[in-house]
Amino acid sequence: MPTKSTLALAIAAGLTWSAGAQAQETVKVGVILPYSGPFADAANQLDAGIKLYMQQNGDMVAGKKIEIVRKDTGGPAPDVAKRLAQELVVRDGVDIIAGFALTPEALGAADVATQAKKLMVVMNAATSVVTEKSPYIVRTSVTIPQVNYAFGKWAFEKGGVKQAYTLVADYGPGHDAEKSFAKGFTEAGGTIVGADKTPVANPDFSAFVQRVKDASPEAVYIFVPGGGQPAAIGKALSERGLTPPATRIFGQGELTHPEALESMGGNARGIVTTFHYTLEREEPLNNAFVAAYREANNSRSPDLFSIGGYDGMHLIYEALRKTNGDTSGDALVEAAKGMAWDSPRGPISIDPETRDIVQNVYIREVQEVGGKLQNVIIDTIENVKDPLHGASN
Amino acid sequence: MTGNLLIVLFDGLAFGMLLFVLSVGLSVTLGLMNFVNLGHGAFGMLGGYVALVVTREAGLSFFLALPAAFVGAAVVGIACERTLFRRLYRSGELNQVLFTVGLVFVATAIATFLFGTGQQPIQIPDVLRGSVEIGGLRFGIYRIFLIVVALAVTAALIFGLEFTRFGASVRAAVDNQRVAQGLGIDVDTIFAITFALGCGLAGLGGALAIEIVGLDPTFAFHYLIYVLIVVAVGGLGSIGGSFLAAALLGIADVGGKYFVPELGSFLIYLLMVGVLFWRPLGLFGKR
């Protein structure tokens, strides 16, 4: 294995050198995303964020032209992500690798970033551990413990809930969400009365919701992947009469994304979620971002993926400005550390210690505004760091 | 406790009926015509998108969208049968599998191109929302509706295939094409109609499924597994078998998740293996 990678590196070095000689004036950014397959929607939304940023800010930075090279992993495929990262570095001679909608794919490519000494911008993958896998990784999205640990505390202290049931999808992010919510909630003094895990691709939630109902908890905390499941679980809950205010429903933001709200209808009213990006947040920067995004994307609204891609590009642009066009991984990572800016999601910064994002966590409640259901911010927890980083050190 | 058991049975049955409407069309094409149509899910997806366009773009009722989904999928099905599938009736199963799976990829790409990769919610009428309380238990109205539709489809199919002249012609054409042709049965047309029927039922299933499982371009692949399990457990070509298998699998799935959530979605596969060990041709398989 080491001999293989040293060989790859030697070739990489040779190729980038020769490529660099003739194309001094471009900075190539390799974007690795699951453009096809079950996660195609996430990739598309993230890519639209990248495109919008480049459309608004031009493609020239520090006298160099930014060129995007897109690669499709075709689904959760860590090995493919790794191979694509190698190809991008070795064959296409990219200076920066970016994208990564899914944690396994980010982990797969992390080694390549380390060995090739390239800046790797993680624009979504939300498991805490990602940034610890390579000193060249910087994240511009969110971590699951970041939004859920604070939320667990909030649920007890301000939400006034003493006991809760957790129902999460049975995969890495679901386990993270369950653990961090439960940690925040129990540390504050709450009790978890029951916990269940649902299969990742679960078409029908009736059995699990019935289990929750049998336990009759004050609140139920839910984490399911975005897409079709939020609406499905929302409906299963309301069919059994588990609706706020009788039973409080908590979850991470995906649970109440616009399409899910449309599908759930009035039953979604009162669901409380935690998230780092809120589409309806009234603030000039966000309003302009949402309007421009909708115009560019056939009136589709931006979501967490879009904002991750948008801010990821901002980080790349600003880091290049700081290094004055120097594309070496070390220089770019140094430039990214401690960087702070106003994003459409609110003020954010990159923690110089962990290279992870620090941002506001918004607690939102589904309310009817002007005849339409939307997530209304009821509380803001400022400058939240991922609670797990450093915990293992 | 008995109340909970009843609810689990009801939910399982409703989920099973969803599986049934999704898969009965395949039972017709695969079982009666011996054509391995793995593109079945694509016709289900087509029905889903037809229902979506009818309710959202044309602003019509969901109750009109269901027949529209059936007709839409049947029409496209017949067009595909005339131009593409009929060439494969006599070729080997592997060719059929490869061709129809390729078709699913094409369908996924077309759906992505036309509707984007996002989830598509559907507006169902208020009468189908919520739940009714009977004897202290709450039953989801949409689930009751699913069970009713599935029972109606089963009754219509069994009647149509077992007790009508058309049904007799279909069975004759399947059993022995040459003799049937010799007796003056227009096998070509019969097959086209049967295929359209199978596709139409898939379309109906797709439209009904959106409310429970959602709709996006991966639909065609996502539910293929469940559909194949139902058809395999039920036995090829048996409408009643598919019905029983779907009910059994639905109840086992929901019951399993309720009583032993650790097993999760695994139970449905275990059941399939068990049934096929016991009866390799499925519950009602003849061939």
Judged by average pLDDT, the poorest of A62-76, B54-68, B109-123 is B109-123
Closest CA to A216 of A165, A270, A272: A165
Whether B219 is covered by a domain: the verdict is yes
Residue B245 within a domain? yes
Question: Strands (DSSP E) along chain B, which ranges?
Answer: 131-134, 137-140
Q: Which of B88, B82, B37 is nearest to B199 (CA)?
A: B37
CB-based contact B40:B26 (threshold 8 Å)? yes
Instruction: State the Cα torsion B58-B60-B66-B67 to the nearest 10°.
Output: -80
pLDDT in tens, B11-33: 899 999 999 999 988 888 887 77
Which residues does residue A346 pair with via DSSP β-bridges, in sequence order? A343
Cα–Cα distance between A7 and A13 in angstroms, integer? 10
- Residue listed under structure tokens 């003799």: B179
Residue B162 within any structural domain of the chain: yes
Neighboring chain A residues of B216 at a CB cutoff of 8 Å: 41, 227-228
Terminal CA-CA length for chain A: 28
Task: Check residue A393 and give its pLDDT.
Answer: 37
Residue A21 confidence (pLDDT): 44
Q: Output the pLDDT for position A20.
A: 45
If you search the block for the tokens 């022995």, which residue do you land on? B176
Cα-based distances in Å from A159 to A115, A185, A188, A219, A281: 47, 11, 12, 10, 21
State residue A5's pLDDT score.
Answer: 59
Q: Which CATH code of 3.40.47.10, 3.40.50.2300, 3.10.20.90, 3.40.50.720 fits the domain covering A145-275+361-384?
A: 3.40.50.2300
The answer, yes or no, to whether residue B87 has pLDDT greater than 90, is no
What span, in angstroms and rounded, lies between the C-alpha atoms of A237 and A235?
Answer: 5
DSSP at B279: -
Assign B4 a pLDDT band (cuts: 50, 70, 90). confident
pLDDT at B135: 78
**SS3 category, A357:** strand
Q: Which residue shows structure tokens 């896998």?
A: A133
Share of chain B above pLDDT 70, in %: 99
- Verify whether the Cβ–Cβ distance A210 to B258 is below 8 Å: yes
* B285 within domain boundaries: no
Give A50's Cβ-side CA count (13 Å radius).
27
Q: Which of A165, A206, A298, A372 to mutate to test the interface with B (most CBs of B within 10 A)?
A: A206
- pLDDT value at residue B221: 86
**Distance from C-alpha of B139 to C-alpha of B168, rounded to nearest angstrom:** 39
Q: Measure in Å the smallest separation between the Cα of B176 and chain A Cα atoms.
A: 40
Instruction: Name which of A196, A203, A259 is nearest B119 (Cβ-Cβ).
Output: A259
Q: Report CB contact under 8 Å: A201, B119.
A: no
Alpha-carbon distance A359 to A153, whole Å?
17
Averaged confidence pLDDT in chain B: 88
Domain boundaries, chain A: 2-142+285-355, 145-275+361-384
The CA distance from B188 to B176, in Å, is 13
Before A245, cis peptide (omega within 30)? yes
For residue A320, CA distances in Å to A53, A95, A98, A122, A327 come to 15, 11, 14, 17, 7
Measure Cα distances from B114 to A236, B110, B117, B179, B204 in Å.
Answer: 30, 6, 9, 45, 20
Q: Does residue B138 belong to the interface with chain A, where contact is any CB pair within 8 Å?
A: yes
Collect all residues of chain A within an 8 Å Cβ-Cβ radius of residue B4. Answer: 210, 214
B267-278 and B224-234 helices, crossing angle to 10°:
30
Answer yes or no: is B284 within a domain.
Answer: no
Strand partners, A169: A198
**Distance of alpha carbon A88 from alpha carbon A93, whole angstroms:** 6
| Residues of B whose CB is below 8 A from A201 | 222, 265
d(CA B36, CA A310) in angstroms, rounded, equals: 46
Contact A300 B11 (CB under 8 A): no
Q: Which residues contact B220 (CB under 8 A, 6 or more apart)?
A: B39, B41, B42, B44, B45, B104, B107, B108, B111
Q: Which long-range contacts (CB under 8 A, 24 or more apart) does A1-6 make?
A: A5/A111, A5/A115
Mean pLDDT of B244-258: 90
B11:A204 CB<8 A = yes
Residue found under tokens 């604070």: A150
Question: How many angstroms separate the CA atoms of B124 and A235, rounded?
Answer: 12
- State the DSSP code for A75: S
Topology of the domain covering A2-142+285-355 = Rossmann fold (3.40.50)
A239 CB neighbours in chain B (<8 A) are: 130-131, 138, 140, 142-143
Q: Are B228 and B282 in contact (CB under 8 A)?
A: no
Asked if the C-beta of A265 comes within 8 angstroms of chain B's C-beta atoms, the answer is yes
Q: Taking the CB of residue A76, how many other CB atoms lie within 10 A of it? A: 19
Q: Where are the beta strands (DSSP E) in A77-118?
A: 96-99
Whether A259 has its CB under 8 Å from any CB of chain B: the answer is yes
Provide the CATH number for the domain around residue B24. 1.10.3470
State the first-to-last Cα distance of chain B, in angstroms, to the nearest integer: 42
Q: Which residues of B touch A238 (CB under 8 A)?
A: 130-131
Report the domain count for chain B.
1
Flag if A206 and B254 touch (Cβ within 8 Å): yes
Residue with tokens 């679960």: A202
Crossing angle of helices B224-234 and B239-259, in 10° steps, is 120
Read off the DSSP letter of residue A228.
T
Predicted confidence at residue A374, as pLDDT, reads 92
Tell me the two tokens of residue B19: 């599986």
- Strands, E, within B62-182: which ranges? 131-134, 137-140
- Residues A307 and A140: their CA atoms lie apart, in Å, by 9
Q: Is B59 left (phi over 0), alpha (psi -120 to 50) or beta?
A: left
A207-239: buried (b, 16+ CB within 10 Å) or exposed (e) per residue? bbbbbbbeeebbbbbbbbbbbbbbbbbbbbbbb
What mean pLDDT do residues B266-287 have?
85
Lowest mean pLDDT of A106-120, B47-61, B176-190, name the range. Answer: B176-190
Please indicate, yes or no, if residue B287 is contained in any of the structural domains: no
pLDDT in tens, chain A (393 residues): 445 555 555 555 555 554 444 445 899 999 999 998 888 889 999 999 999 999 999 999 989 999 999 999 987 889 999 999 999 999 999 999 999 999 999 999 999 999 999 999 999 999 888 999 999 999 999 999 999 999 999 999 999 999 999 999 988 889 999 999 999 999 999 999 999 998 877 778 888 999 999 899 999 999 998 777 888 888 888 888 888 888 999 999 989 988 888 888 888 899 999 999 999 999 999 999 999 999 999 888 999 999 999 999 999 999 999 999 999 999 999 999 999 999 999 999 999 999 999 999 999 999 999 888 999 999 999 999 998 876 543
E-strand ranges in A41-102 read 60-61, 64-72, 96-99
Residue B286 lies in a domain: no
Structural domain boundaries enclosing B103: 2-278
Q: Which of B1, B104, B117 is the best mutation test for A, with the most CBs of A within 10 A?
A: B117
For residues A354 and A257, is the Cβ–Cβ distance under 8 A? no
**Topology match between the domains A2-142+285-355 and A145-275+361-384:** yes
State the pLDDT confidence band at B139, using cuts at 50, 70 and 90: confident
Q: Buried b / exposed e across A113-129, counting CB within 10 Å, b at 16+?
A: bbbbbbbbbbbbbbbbb
